[in-house]
Amino acid sequence: MAKRNDLKKRLKAADRRRNRRQAAQGSVIKMAPSEASVSPSDMIVDHLLAYVSAAKSPSDIVARAALKACFRGDLPSKEPARGLAMEIEKVASQPGVTARAYKAALKELSEAAAQHQKSQKETPDAFLAYLAILAGSV
């Protein structure tokens, strides 16, 4: 039993030394060469903003329903959310977008939409307005 604990201590110490050495050298983790860095969040936000500009009365409810449905992997039953979800699903098939990054982007945007739902009575469609402001500042 003592040998095992000693081995763990030595392995942890070696990991710490390796990490310190890499930090001191400024080395980065070697990544496989890939295409240009693609942000699924940005592409999904672009689709949401296109929905805002195309819809006569855009609504947070439609955007949230589409995001949740895409995260679950199905389509909403109502038409505005269904069309938006189909547009958002196109992001997953873009080159350079991994399934993991796509799911993470959907989760992140769904959580942001849920945070803005609390202020829905004060400011309707606060989430879409928030995205429009962020996109305008970039």
User: Is residue 86 predicted with pLDDT exceeding 90?
Assistant: yes
Tell me how many domains the chain contains.
2
The answer to whether 102 touches 110, Cβ cutoff 8 Å, is no
Asked whether residue 35 is domain-assigned, the answer is no
How sure is the predictor about 69, in pLDDT bands with cuts at 50, 70 and 90? very high
Please tell me whether residues 7 and 72 are part of one structural domain.
no
pTM confidence score: 0.68
Please tell me whether residues 1 and 59 are part of one structural domain.
no
Indicate the SS3 state at residue 94: coil
Asked whether residue 126 is domain-assigned, the answer is yes
Asked whether residue 129 is domain-assigned, the answer is yes
The answer to whether 106 touches 67, Cβ cutoff 8 Å, is yes
Q: Which residues of 92-111 are buried (b: 16+ CB within 10 A; e: fewer)?
A: beeeebeeebbeebbeebbe
Asked whether residue 61 is domain-assigned, the answer is yes
Please tell me whether residues 25 and 44 are part of one structural domain.
no
Over range 90-96, report the average pLDDT: 90
User: Nearest to residue 130, comparing CAs of 61, 121, 115, 55?
Assistant: 115
Please tell me whether residues 46 and 24 are part of one structural domain.
no
What pLDDT is recorded for position 90?
92
Please tell me whether residues 57 and 13 are part of one structural domain.
no
Domain encompassing residue 26: 1-30
